[in-house]
């Protein structure tokens, strides 16, 4: 797997986790700040009030005590001294003022200036005679509280208490500390809890991300394992279903592709496709053979490997014009020349632009040749039929015109008409035989046949004919040779060949028939010492109606179909037929037949091939 995959997924989800945790923290800090914003002033106010109350309480207690002493007759200066001694800490000042708010003359505290507001408030009987101000003597901010001394409901003086304001600050400091600790602990708890929640929340997302990553890297069987019925659970379920669908679709696509590949590659027609840029997209086996390419050429520019091949021209034209095109072209020259039919179709996705072209090339050489042969056959047959028919018609008309009156002429003409009719019948028989062979209407009746016996039979049957022509006909002695063949058909081949040999050999010549085994084949040869066949005619000698000397062959009742029939029969048996000939010296026609299985000597055997 790509090492980048899981890492990037992890990074993504780690940042998601961090963001989730951070948002938890932010939330916690925000709420703590908001709470503090309301709580701190309230707490400060509360603490300040409590502190002021405490100082005021001290003042009231001192006043209660000192008013008692005053009633016993102590002077203000004496009271002030007692008050000074009541201070429980050094920086605390406790002093006494008269009913006008003035200190006794003995007081250490300055008497000038206006009456302080707390003293004035205490004299008035206000509920909270407290004040905070700068003390010019002690150079300090201080808290002042005053309480009246009473006698029979009248204010007889005031006790003033003052403490440094710093002390109050110390008290407040503890509040601040507690708050700070709460803030830090709260944030810490929020961070820990947030991280834990974030991990739990992000784990399924992380699992999904990992699965998606694996799928994107080709592991289509990867699924996200996510429990839970929340949105992420739903998402994971949908994701997994999507994965299944993807897998199915891809499998179907692959299957389809395999099918198409199999079809295209097994096609005997060559299939070549190029993309819009002229690169080879596809070459099936037939195309590789036809164009002399191999599979490595796929993906390369077609122009480089095909140069100016007709296939390339066809593909380029189709891409350029965006329409189907068809043409025929030849490859090779002379006997090697092959004719090909090319049809090309543009490739386009839907109604989009042309993105390439595919060409199918078919070898139509044999098709065209067969068409030509069929045309020739029709022409030949008509021609062959016309000659005897013309002859019959001519003689009949002559007879009807009055020649019948002369018995001698009548007999001669009728004999000719009979011969021509026989020729017609032979021709029709041969044509029928040939067409039955070609259409395989009459299947071969295979059986085990002694080929040597068959040859001897044919020779003895044709002996009278050979004798009539003063030709010596002989079968060379042969061992028993077994073939699996249709005996009647092979007899027909033998008869055709031997009849030809007798026919084209002048009196005094010889015709020899020999049978032998050669490897896995039996070979039959019919040799004569006749006039031979010109080399130019040899290649076409087995064609239908082909005769070296038309008139002589016809004279002898030949149809020109004998060798064609022989060739057909031999090839239907899986054999070959051939001819060697030297003009004026004679010809050798030979054909092979596969030996019956039991006859084939084992490979590498030194035993002679014949028995």
Ligand X SMILES: Nc1ncnc2c1ncn2[C@@H]1O[C@H](COP(=O)(O)OP(=O)(O)O)[C@@H](O)[C@H]1O
From its phi and psi, is residue 219 left (phi > 0), alpha (psi between -120 and 50) or beta?
beta
- Per DSSP, the three-state class of 441 is coil
Neighbours of 245 (CB within 10 A): 10
Residue 541 in contact with ligand X, rule: CB under 6 A: yes
Q: Residue 492 Cβ, how far from ligand X at the closest point, in Å?
A: 12
**Cβ closer to ligand X: 259 or 552?**
552
Give all strands of the β-sheet with 130-135 in edge-to-edge order: 93-98, 154-164, 140-151, 130-135
Q: Which of residues 240-259 bind ligand X (CB under 6 A)?
A: none
Residue 568 in contact with ligand X, rule: CB under 6 A: no
Strand partners, 345: 358
Q: Using alpha carbons only, how large is the chain's radius of gyration in Å?
A: 65
Q: Which of residues 574-603 bind ligand X (CB under 6 A)?
A: 587
Q: What is the DSSP letter of 352?
A: S
Interaction pattern, residues 185-224, with ligand X; x per rule: CB under 6 A: ----------------------------------------
Residue with tokens 């739903």: 234
State the maximum Cα–Cα separation within the chain, in Å, rounded to a whole number: 209
Neighbours of 505 (CB within 10 A): 24
Q: Are 83 and 66 in contact (CB under 8 A)?
A: yes
Task: Indicate which of ligand X, Mg ion, none lies near residue 474 (CB less than 5 to 8 Å, by partner kind).
Answer: none
Q: Residue 566 Cβ, how far from ligand X at the closest point, in Å?
A: 8
Residue 530 in contact with ligand X, rule: CB under 6 A: yes
- Per DSSP, the three-state class of 533 is coil
Q: Which of residues 130-159 bind ligand X (CB under 6 A)?
A: none
When binding is defined by CB under 6 A, the residue of 358, 548, 577, 609 that contacts ligand X is 548
**Cβ closer to Mg ion: 148 or 558?**
558
Residue 558 in contact with ligand X, rule: CB under 6 A: yes
When binding is defined by CB under 6 A, the residue of 13, 274, 380, 500 that contacts ligand X is 500
Residue with tokens 């096609």: 267
Residue 162 in contact with ligand X, rule: CB under 6 A: no
CA pair distance 180, 178, nearest whole angstrom:
5
- The region of 63-71, 123-131, 438-446, 552-560 touching ligand X under the rule CB under 6 A is 552-560
Task: Indicate which of ligand X, Mg ion, none lies near residue 504 (CB less than 5 to 8 Å, by partner kind).
Answer: ligand X
CA pair distance 139, 131, nearest whole angstrom:
16
Phi, psi dihedrals of residue 221, rounded to the nearest 5° = -90, 0
Task: Indicate which of ligand X, Mg ion, none lies near residue 530 (CB less than 5 to 8 Å, by partner kind).
Answer: ligand X
**Cβ closer to ligand X: 283 or 541?**
541
Residue 528 in contact with ligand X, rule: CB under 6 A: yes
Question: Burial level of 496, CB count in 10 A (0-12/13-18/19+)?
Answer: buried
When binding is defined by CB under 6 A, the residue of 514, 559, 569, 591 that contacts ligand X is 559
Q: Which residue is nearest to Mg ion (CB)?
A: 562
CA pair distance 528, 471, nearest whole angstrom:
10
The residue ranges that bind Mg ion (CB under 5 A) are: 500, 558, 562
Alpha carbon 331 to chain centroid, angstroms: 36
Residue 501 in contact with ligand X, rule: CB under 6 A: yes
Helix runs in 217-341, H state only:
231-266, 285-291, 302-306, 310-321
Task: Indicate which of Mg ion, ligand X, none lies near residue 547 (CB less than 5 to 8 Å, by partner kind).
Answer: ligand X
**Cβ closer to ligand X: 104 or 560?**
560
- The region of 5-13, 453-461, 529-537, 600-608 touching ligand X under the rule CB under 6 A is 529-537
Task: Indicate which of ligand X, Mg ion, none lies near residue 69 (CB less than 5 to 8 Å, by partner kind).
Answer: none
Q: Are 13 and 224 in contact (CB under 8 A)?
A: no
Which residues of the shown chain bind ligand X in the complex (CB under 6 A)?
496, 500-501, 504, 528, 530-533, 541, 546-549, 553, 558-563, 587
């Amino acid at each position: 797997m790509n090492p980048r995959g899981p890492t990037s997924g992890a990074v993504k989800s780690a940042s998601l986790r961090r963001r989730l945790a951070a948002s938890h923290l932010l939330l916690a800090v925000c709420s703590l700040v908001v709470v503090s914003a309301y709580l701190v002033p309230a707490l400060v106010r509360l603490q300040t009030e409590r502190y002021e109350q405490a100082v005021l309480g001290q003042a009231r207690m001192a006043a209660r005590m000192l008013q008692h002493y005053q009633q016993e007759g102590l002077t203000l200066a004496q009271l002030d001294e007692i008050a000074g001694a009541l201070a429980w800490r050094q920086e605390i000042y406790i002093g006494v003022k008269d009913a006008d708010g003035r200190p006794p003359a003995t007081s250490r505290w300055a008497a000038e200036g206006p009456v302080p507001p707390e003293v004035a408030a205490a004299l008035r009987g206000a509920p909270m005679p407290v004040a905070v101000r700068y003390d010019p003597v002690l150079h300090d901010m201080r808290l002042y509280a005053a309480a009246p001394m009473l006698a029979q409901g009248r204010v007889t003086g005031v006790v003033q208490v003052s403490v440094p304001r710093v002390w109050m600050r110390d008290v407040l400091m503890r509040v601040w500390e507690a708050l700070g600790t709460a803030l830090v602990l709260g944030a810490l708890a929020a961070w820990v809890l947030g991280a834990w929640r974030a991990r739990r929340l992000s784990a399924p997302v992380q699992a999904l991300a990992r699965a998606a990553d694996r799928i994107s890297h080709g592991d289509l069987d990867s699924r996200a394992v996510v429990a839970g019925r929340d949105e992420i659970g739903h998402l994971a379920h949908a994701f997994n279903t999507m994965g299944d669908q993807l897998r199915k679709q891809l499998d179907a696509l692959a299957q389809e592709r395999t099918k198409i590949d199999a079809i295209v590659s097994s096609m005997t027609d060559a299939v070549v496709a190029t993309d819009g840029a002229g690169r080879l997209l596809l070459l099936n086996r037939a195309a590789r053979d036809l164009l002399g390419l191999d599979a490595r050429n796929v993906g390369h520019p077609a122009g480089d490997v095909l140069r100016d091949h007709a296939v390339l021209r066809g593909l380029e034209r189709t891409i350029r014009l965006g329409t189907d095109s068809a043409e025929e072209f030849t490859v090779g020259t002379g006997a090697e020349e092959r004719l090909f039919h090319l049809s090309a179709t543009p490739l386009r996705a839907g109604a989009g632009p042309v993105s390439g072209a595919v060409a199918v090339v078919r070898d139509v050489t044999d098709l065209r040749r067969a068409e030509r042969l069929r045309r020739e056959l029709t022409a030949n047959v008509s021609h062959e039929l016309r000659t005897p028919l013309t002859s019959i018609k001519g003689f009949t008309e002559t007879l009807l015109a009055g020649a019948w009156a002369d018995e001698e002429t009548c007999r001669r003409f009728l004999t000719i008409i009979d011969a021509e009719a026989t020729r017609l019948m032979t021709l029709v028989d041969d044509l029928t035989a040939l067409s039955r062979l070609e259409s395989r209407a009459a299947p071969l009746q295979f059986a085990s046949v002694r080929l040597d016996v068959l040859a001897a039979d044919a020779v003895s049957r044709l002996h009278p004919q050979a004798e009539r022509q003063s030709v010596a006909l002989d079968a060379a002695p042969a061992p028993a040779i077994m073939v699996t063949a249709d005996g009647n058909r092979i007899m027909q081949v033998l008869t055709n060949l031997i009849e030809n040999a007798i026919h084209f050999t002048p009196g005094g010549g010889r015709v020899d028939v020999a049978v032998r085994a050669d490897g896995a084949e039996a070979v039959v040869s019919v040799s004569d010492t006749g006039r031979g066949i010109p080399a130019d005619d040899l290649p076409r000698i087995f064609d239908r109606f082909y005769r070296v000397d038309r008139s002589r062959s016809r004279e002898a009742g030949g149809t020109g179909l004998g060798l064609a029939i022989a060739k057909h029969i031999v090839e239907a048996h899986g054999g070959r037929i051939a001819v060697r000939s030297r003009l004026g010296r004679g010809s050798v026609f030979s054909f092979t037949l596969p030996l019956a299985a039991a006859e084939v000597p084992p490979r590498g055997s030194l035993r002679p091939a014949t028995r």
